[in-house]
């Protein structure tokens, strides 16, 4: 019976939750499956166990307590080669958002290691890195990469688009609310009734609930949505090379006021944002007069070759206005087969538990 060796990089919120789910899977009745955690690391130290494996439930705390050894990530392929016995499969799970770790994917894949990750950097940055990853995965002995959780956390968005393309369907347009943070903000701010609290108060509330980054400007600038659009557009053959600089090539409408663009402190940003409530109120009033709501959406128009992240107005009876709650994501696939009614995928699109579930589902596909 073969064993799947697992090496985990990053044990923060998502990484810790993934380890908890790994512990559950390991304790369940999986007579035909064997998963062995052989490596777990945070930004400073790493734990390794080649034979019996590590206990997933205790790794996060052990690393927090300073256990383990200092290991350079560039040395990880060499270290993991020594752990492979009888050609057992080895998968690297990258739970970080690190550009550096993402740059190592081609080396991992060339060595035959599979890579599973929610890290959007590798698939939404330069076209060169993306192509290097694709090329490395096509080696005879190359590993596979699985990145379902890079878009929509645990929602089956990547898998759905992959199946549509692979089965010969023609993708016409993709549009959706792809940011859990911006979904929450505009679900609260722009309702079908056209009323609600001030924009700045909702942003502050979202920050207190942990829905935003420590600096809310990192959500309001639209870059996260642009990265997800890049990942999806590169899965469509006619758009694969359309964004040479990745998310930087996407047309992005930032919601960060120009005067606050240089503010580096999250606290200062939130404190000064009320100065611009009138500008957002004007947008809300305009939408209300048209019987519409505001939603921050990502759009991929395949025929026009337009990829954009922008604040748009939708009718008050549109699914983007009526179906969303909290930090839900919703995405509509308009294709030749799914026309005029699109295929819609909706659900929780943010949070450690659902993101870790997306990672776990990718891992189980390798068994």
Beta partners for 300?
A: 174, 307
CATH label of the domain that carries residue 253: 3.30.360.10
Q: Is pLDDT larger for residue 73 or for residue 223?
A: 223
Same domain, 249 and 342: yes
Give 183's contacts (C-beta < 8 A, 6+ positions apart).
177, 296, 324, 326, 327, 328, 329, 330, 349
CATH of the domain at 75: 3.40.50.720
Is 96 flagged in the annotation as binding? yes
120 carries a ligand binding annotation: yes
Mean of pLDDT values over 181-204: 93
Is 163 found in the same domain as 147?
Answer: no
Mean model confidence pLDDT for the chain: 92
Looking at the predicted structure, is the pLDDT value of residue 26 above 80? no
Catalytic residue among 121, 228, 288, 313: 228
Query: Domains in the chain: how many in total?
Result: 2
Summarised one tens digit per residue, pLDDT across range 236-272 is: 999 999 999 999 999 999 999 999 999 999 999 999 9
Answer yes or no: is 12 a known binding residue: yes
Residues of the domain holding 147: 4-151+353-365
Q: How far is CA 317 from CA 123, 201, 235, 297, 299, in A?
A: 35, 26, 31, 16, 19
CA 220 – CA 130 distance, rounded (Å)? 26
pLDDT for 84 equals 57
Q: For residues 107 and 210, state if they share a domain.
A: no
Query: Do 90 and 180 sit in the same domain of this protein?
Result: no
Are 164 and 263 in a shared domain?
yes
Query: Is 11 labeled as ligand-binding?
Result: yes
% pLDDT > 70, the chain: 96
Specify the pLDDT at position 299.
Answer: 98
Taking the C-alpha atoms of residue 68 and residue 47, their distance in angstroms, rounded to an integer, is 5
| Residue 69 in this model has a pLDDT that exceeds 70 | yes
Domain shared by 250 and 323, yes or no: yes
- Is the pLDDT confidence value at 29 over 70? no
Query: In terms of domains, do 327 and 192 share one?
Result: yes
Q: What is the per-residue pLDDT for 208?
A: 92
Q: Is 196 annotated as a binding residue?
A: no
| Whether residue 173 lies in the annotated active site | no
B/e letters for 36-45, b = 16+ CB within 10 Å, e = fewer, are: bbbbbbbeeb
Confidence of residue 33 (pLDDT cuts 50, 70, 90): low
pLDDT digits (tens, 9 = 90+) for 214-239: 999 999 999 999 999 999 999 999 99
Same domain, 163 and 304: yes
Are 144 and 207 in a shared domain? no
Q: Do residues 89 and 173 share a domain? A: no
Please check if 176 is assigned to a binding site.
no
Residue 182 in this model has a pLDDT that exceeds 70:
yes
pLDDT tier, 74 (very low <50, low <70, confident <90, very high otherwise): confident
pLDDT of residue 83: 59
Consult the annotation and say whether 165 binds a ligand: no
pLDDT digits (tens, 9 = 90+) for 111-136: 889 999 999 999 999 999 999 999 99
Co-location of 80 and 168 in the same domain: no
- Do residue 18 and residue 122 come from a single domain? yes
């Amino acid at each position: 019976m073969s064993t799947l060796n697992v090496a985990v990089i990053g044990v923060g919120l998502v990484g810790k939750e993934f380890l908890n789910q790994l512990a559950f899977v390991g304790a369940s009745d999986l007579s035909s499956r064997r998963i062995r955690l052989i490596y777990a690391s945070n930004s400073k130290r790493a734990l390794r166990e080649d034979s019996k494996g590590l206990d997933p439930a205790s790794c996060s705390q052990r690393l927090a307590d300073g256990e383990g050894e200092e290991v350079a990530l560039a040395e990880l392929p060499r270290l993991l080669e020594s752990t492979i016995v009888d050609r057992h499969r080895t998968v690297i799970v990258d739970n970080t958002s690190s550009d550096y770790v993402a740059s190592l994917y081609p080396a991992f894949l060339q060595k035959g290691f599979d890579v599973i990750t929610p890290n959007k950097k590798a698939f939404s940055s330069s076209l060169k890195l993306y192509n290097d990853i694709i090329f490395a995965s096509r080696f005879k002995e190359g590993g596979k990469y699985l990145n379902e959780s890079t878009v929509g956390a645990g929602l089956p968005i990547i898998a759905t688009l992959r199946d549509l393309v692979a089965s010969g369907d023609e993708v016409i347009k993709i549009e959706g609310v792809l940011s859990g943070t911006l979904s929450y903000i505009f679900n609260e701010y722009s309702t079908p009734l056209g009323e609600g609290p001030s924009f700045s108060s909702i942003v502050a509330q979202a920050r207190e609930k942990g829905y935003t980054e420590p600096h809310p400007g990192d959500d309001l600038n639209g870059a996260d949505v642009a990265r997800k659009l890049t990942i999806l557009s590169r899965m469509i053959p006619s758009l694969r090379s359309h964004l040479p600089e990745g998310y930087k090539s996407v047309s992005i409408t930032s919601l960060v006021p120009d005067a606050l663009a240089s503010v580096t402190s999250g606290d200062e940003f939130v404190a000064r944002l009320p100065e611009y409530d009138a500008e957002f109120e004007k947008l809300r009033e305009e939408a209300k007069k048209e019987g519409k709501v505001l939603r921050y959406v990502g759009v991929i128009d395949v025929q026009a070759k337009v990829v954009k992240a922008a604040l748009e107005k939708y009718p008050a009876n549109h699914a983007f206005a009526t179906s969303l709650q909290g930090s839900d994501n919703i995405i509509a696939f308009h294709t030749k087969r799914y026309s005029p009614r699109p295929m819609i995928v909706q659900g929780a699109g943010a949070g450690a538990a659902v993101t870790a579930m997306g990672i776990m589902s990718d891992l189980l596909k390798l068994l």
